[in-house]
Structure 1
């Protein structure tokens, strides 16, 4: 709402000439007023760097907030969330309640752009409640406008107009042109959606006039597609094409991914209607490309990861505080020992102090043990111990290891039907059970890659029956997914998953990568072939290589599939594992339990 290109140009000139009194204030205004996101981002970064160096938390909050806003306008939602999290931290340091409320609204805007309407509306309601208490008219008007836009997208037109009308009164009273422009444009979209084309065109054209004068092109691209729709209904194909082409040209010039996608879709529909099928197909292909670049499962998982890391950071601060207390208490103990030698009369008081120190050390010891446990959850126990003692881990070669890849069939398709939270919960539900299964057979979880689960047998401690254990674990994974799928279908749930598994055996190299966020990983041709086994498997099946079959053929029923073409591998023999001999199951489980009792 604060964007004003003429003022931004004037301030940039003054800043470049060094003609200013308060450098941070000028940078803040440039990052707010500049309508070109790429330029605004540069000044936001400068503001952030200088504000943090001077411990000016309020300006740092503003810099991160504007950085997030401009990243969001470019469709970079993951980076925008990172900026908003930092903005919230700086607002908290500055004790700026209004700033924190603003971040709340920005998070709502991000959910809205990602298509998660339920969460967006929830954050808008929370944000409006906080802002009404703080009584800031500009922020209230902006939030009402954004909330109304969310209800417009979900076709709740009466609610949308209610928010727009309240917002319009605020901007008229404050005489803010850009606020009125957005109200005209969004109200015009409501009129267009409800068939009142004359009012729609009048309001949208009024909005475009104001926005062109202010050089704010982002909303114009949206409004132009609505004008195209209006002329389609008027059977004026020429004007419909004119406005759709104009929207696409403007969106490309400003690099507005979402608006580029919408304009391509509109042109695909128009060309199809007039029989230009080749043009229609080309525009539709471009629509799909830009749509998928905005909303995809990687971004969803990244959002969930960011929220998790934000919580971990808070817990880490608590642990750091306890560590600092430990250092302080050691100093107190030394001073206490000297005092005992000099002044025996205060022994009772020092005794009580020592008890306090002991209690504090117990707390710190618990936190240290918790950290050790967390490290062991990430790395094998032997590897974690080596990392603690030496600060690094040497890579090791294992001559005989079995590697398993498990992947859900059609996961991306199903994920598009779910909210980010539901995607994360679904993956966590299955992977938690898989963790229990591999623990049962004394195997090692390596990592997860989206909806792919990777584990191995025969490391970090070599065992002879690693392939047999891994295949038994694979059967339990398949059975768990099959059982839950059947239960979900009985309960009439819309989203159920199937799974396929691939296994290969051979030598690998294992080690730890990274210096901060450690990850235990394995490399080698064996791993690559295991991945190929999974990709060439079928739903509900365990596909194994010839090397794995040679290790397990005495204990399992293997069905030969023939020689199949493998990417970069010519042809390879493959087998489906169809069953396990009962005597073999018992002996493998007994061996796994025996290895565990021996400390392996």
Structure 2
């Protein structure tokens, strides 16, 4: 089997088993429930208010439509919050994540999965925690974050092997098998599938058995056994259709199509691909819509029908572009980091609680000993207890001080130090106007073309490398980084502390950035080009947000600086007349003439050619004479 089916399959595993976790699945496997009748019960209100959580959860267990799953999971969360049900809050966030995953929104799905882990921790249910780890691993696997995926699969399976939750264990094994299948490690994939399959069959869980048979069919296809593959895949499709799991049907049909394509039976292959596309469109499954269109485009090309091939390829491109999101990889990496930080903090809190419990137990034991041994031993034990308490208090105080220092450091990494101090003291930050600052925008040229040629991991690694270098250069020049927007870098000089040389500092930083990107001894990464734009004038600066703080600036100066950047050229620094008047005694500039600026009319622009001979280099308060000029 070729790898066209391979890229389709990788999108179903997150919701394949994750949507079926933590309900009375074995009971439902043995006694099918009609979802329509359950919905009628809920909509008509024919139940006690105390049973509302159970009714909603029962509907979610058997639902297949992701839009309805979203509605009922959000309803479950609202009702569970009112009734203070930690267990149902866990299920609500898990199911909401599953519906988002099916609708092609992995980042929001991942946020809900991490929220579910917090409630799983509160319940103390290792099976629940292990199962949501499986779902998190699936999400990373689908987005080709293989390092995180492998780590969470290992965590999940190790945890689930210590529980009696056979269904969750088989789910984790099956999804890990899919992960290794996608990695091309067929022996490992088959090992996990063959361990999971008998568990599903023993539990009489037909949907799980169906996916197990389909998985075997995929592996047989990769091993060059088309007849065995078709036999297993057809058994799989028959079970999933009987169970009404059309998401799974849509996922496995492309594999059947691949086998017929290899046999040269293009008409039968097209029939199966078209059915997969119809189901995907019905249920809004974006990834499968995209992949089915690509498969049909290739099949019609083989059949000699270029018109239909082009039509399906255009549809594929539409969905491919809608699902492509470079920032998604960065956000998911940051989301995992934030979750790990929260987990570490929870571990610290747990250790402190355990220390308090241990201390209380020891003191009670000491009290019994004091009575038995008399006044002298009592006095000694009391002194010993006080000494231990003193050490505990001192140790606790040290932990608190370290955590406070870490929090202060994190806050100062997000906000300017003066702003961070004001926020800690007053709980808010007043907006301030600065009469004269310099604002710079730096944007990579042709970034979209580069992103199409690089893997997401390499792209994120490259952008992170450049932005880290820019951050260090900005700190050296006394320039304040404001934010990044995709591949655009924004910074300002002359705030939060006014500085009369702000324009000079900013142009120096712009020169540094050109050197960094050109690779003059700074990086092994080459090939990118950047354009820069600077404008000087008044701005208003302040902090926005109440939970996730962000320092930002506003005003016409910011808009004009952005226009300077868009009007620049690759490898050039474009500045406005305001900035030119502030730096002309330090830099050689080339007048570009009057240029049209959006919403501003005609404005004078200049290219910075380099520092004037004999000008002064300013770096962290030190002054160095420039011996030559930059051209």
Which of 537, 553, 566 is the aligned partner of 1:506?
537
2:36 paired residue number: 9
Q: How far is the alpha carbon of 1:321 from its aligned partner?
A: 11
1:50 paired residue number: 79
Secondary structure in 1 aligned to 2:124? coil
In the TM superposition, 1:526-537 aligns within 5 A as 526-537=557-568
Secondary structure in 2 aligned to 1:134? coil
2:184 paired residue number: 155
Q: How far is the alpha carbon of 1:205 from its aligned partner?
A: 2.4
Q: Cα–Cα, structure 1 residues 593 and 381, in superposed 2: closer, same or farther, change >3 Å? A: farther
Secondary structure in 1 aligned to 2:104? coil
Contact kept? 1:536, 1:543, Cα under 8 Å: yes
Contact kept? 2:443, 2:487, Cα under 8 Å: yes
Which of 478, 503, 507 is the aligned partner of 1:442?
478
Root mean square deviation of aligned Cα: 3.7
Contact kept? 1:504, 1:544, Cα under 8 Å: yes
Please give the TM-score of this superposition, normalised by the length of structure 1.
0.83
Which of 539, 543, 546 is the aligned partner of 1:515?
546
2:266 paired residue number: 237
Q: How far is the alpha carbon of 1:527 from its aligned partner?
A: 1.3
Return the alpha-carbon distance in structure 2 between the equivalents of residues 182 and 55 of structure 1.
Answer: 36
Could you list the per-position Cα deviations for residues 268-295 of structure 1 after superposition, in whole angstroms to 9, with x for gaps in the alignment?
Answer: 2133334443443332232133234334
Q: How far is the alpha carbon of 1:264 from its aligned partner?
A: 1.0
1:169 paired residue number: 198
Q: How far is the alpha carbon of 1:368 from its aligned partner?
A: 5.0
Return the alpha-carbon distance in structure 1 between the equivalents of residues 109 and 269 of structure 2.
Answer: 34
Contact kept? 1:31, 1:63, Cα under 8 Å: no
In the TM superposition, 1:255-294 aligns within 5 A as 255-294=284-323
Secondary structure in 2 aligned to 1:246? helix
Which of 46, 57, 60 is the aligned partner of 1:18?
46
2:500 paired residue number: 464
Q: Which moved more, 1:378-387 or 1:355-364?
A: 355-364
Secondary structure in 2 aligned to 1:537? coil
Contact kept? 2:516, 2:523, Cα under 8 Å: no
Q: How far is the alpha carbon of 1:8 from its aligned partner?
A: 3.3
How many residues align? The count is 568
Return the alpha-carbon distance in structure 1 between the equivalents of residues 182 and 348 of structure 2.
Answer: 44
Q: Which moved more, 1:238-247 or 1:357-366?
A: 357-366
Return the alpha-carbon distance in structure 2 between the equivalents of residues 126 and 362 of structure 1.
Answer: 32
**2:254 equivalent to 1:254:** no
1:192 paired residue number: 221
**2:160 equivalent to 1:140:** no
Could you list the per-position Cα deviations for residues 302-333 of structure 1 after superposition, in whole angstroms to 9, with x for gaps in the alignment?
Answer: 212322333454577799999x9xxxxxxxxx
Gaps of 5+ in 2: 1-16, 354-382, 625-631
Could you list the per-position Cα deviations for residues 335-393 of structure 1 after superposition, in whole angstroms to 9, with x for gaps in the alignment?
Answer: xxxxxxxxxxxxx99x9899987887676566556545544443334444544555444
Contact kept? 1:485, 1:498, Cα under 8 Å: no
Q: Cα–Cα, structure 1 residues 409 and 129, in superposed 2: closer, same or farther, change >3 Å? A: farther
Q: How far is the alpha carbon of 1:76 from its aligned partner?
A: 1.5
Contact kept? 1:188, 1:201, Cα under 8 Å: yes
Contact kept? 1:148, 1:159, Cα under 8 Å: yes
Contact kept? 1:58, 1:96, Cα under 8 Å: no
2:439 paired residue number: 403
Q: How far is the alpha carbon of 1:183 from its aligned partner?
A: 2.0
Contact kept? 1:488, 1:496, Cα under 8 Å: no
Gaps of 5+ in 1: 325-347, 490-494, 595-600
1:228 paired residue number: 257
Which of 556, 570, 577 is the aligned partner of 1:525?
556
Secondary structure in 2 aligned to 1:574? strand
Which of 138, 142, 145 is the aligned partner of 1:116?
145
Q: Cα–Cα, structure 1 residues 409 and 321, in superposed 2: closer, same or farther, change >3 Å? A: farther
Q: Cα–Cα, structure 1 residues 563 and 272, in superposed 2: closer, same or farther, change >3 Å? A: farther
**2:617 equivalent to 1:551:** no
Contact kept? 1:108, 1:119, Cα under 8 Å: yes
Secondary structure in 2 aligned to 1:133? coil
Q: Cα–Cα, structure 1 residues 527 and 487, in superposed 2: closer, same or farther, change >3 Å? A: closer
Which of 616, 624, 627 is the aligned partner of 1:585?
616
Return the alpha-carbon distance in structure 2 between the equivalents of residues 111 and 384 of structure 1.
Answer: 34
1:343 paired residue number: none
Return the alpha-carbon distance in structure 2 between the equivalents of residues 89 and 173 of structure 1.
Answer: 32
Contact kept? 1:24, 1:59, Cα under 8 Å: yes
Could you list the per-position Cα deviations for residues 151-183 of structure 1 after superposition, in whole angstroms to 9, with x for gaps in the alignment?
Answer: 222333333233222222222222221112112
Q: Cα–Cα, structure 1 residues 360 and 198, in superposed 2: closer, same or farther, change >3 Å? A: closer
Return the alpha-carbon distance in structure 2 between the equivalents of residues 459 and 130 of structure 1.
Answer: 51
Q: Cα–Cα, structure 1 residues 208 and 319, in superposed 2: closer, same or farther, change >3 Å? A: closer
Could you list the per-position Cα deviations for residues 219-243 of structure 1 after superposition, in whole angstroms to 9, with x for gaps in the alignment?
Answer: 2112222233333334333333322
Q: Cα–Cα, structure 1 residues 439 and 117, in superposed 2: closer, same or farther, change >3 Å? A: closer
Return the alpha-carbon distance in structure 2 between the equivalents of residues 317 and 184 of structure 1.
Answer: 41
Q: How far is the alpha carbon of 1:425 from its aligned partner?
A: 5.2
1:76 paired residue number: 105
Q: Which protein, 1 or 2, shows the higher relative CO under an 8 Å CA cutoff with sep ≥ 6?
A: 2
Q: How far is the alpha carbon of 1:150 from its aligned partner?
A: 2.1
Secondary structure in 2 aligned to 1:471? helix
Contact kept? 1:111, 1:119, Cα under 8 Å: yes
In the TM superposition, 1:32-111 aligns within 5 A as 32-111=61-140
Return the alpha-carbon distance in structure 1 between the equivalents of residues 332 and 169 of structure 2.
Answer: 27
Return the alpha-carbon distance in structure 2 between the equivalents of residues 447 and 320 of structure 1.
Answer: 33
Q: Which moved more, 1:351-360 or 1:104-113?
A: 351-360
Return the alpha-carbon distance in structure 1 between the equivalents of residues 520 and 252 of structure 2.
Answer: 47
In the TM superposition, 1:174-185 aligns within 5 A as 174-185=203-214
2:375 paired residue number: none
Q: How far is the alpha carbon of 1:500 from its aligned partner?
A: 2.9
Could you list the per-position Cα deviations for residues 95-118 of structure 1 after superposition, in whole angstroms to 9, with x for gaps in the alignment?
Answer: 111111111111110012112334
Contact kept? 2:616, 2:623, Cα under 8 Å: no
Return the alpha-carbon distance in structure 2 between the equivalents of residues 118 and 517 of structure 1.
Answer: 28
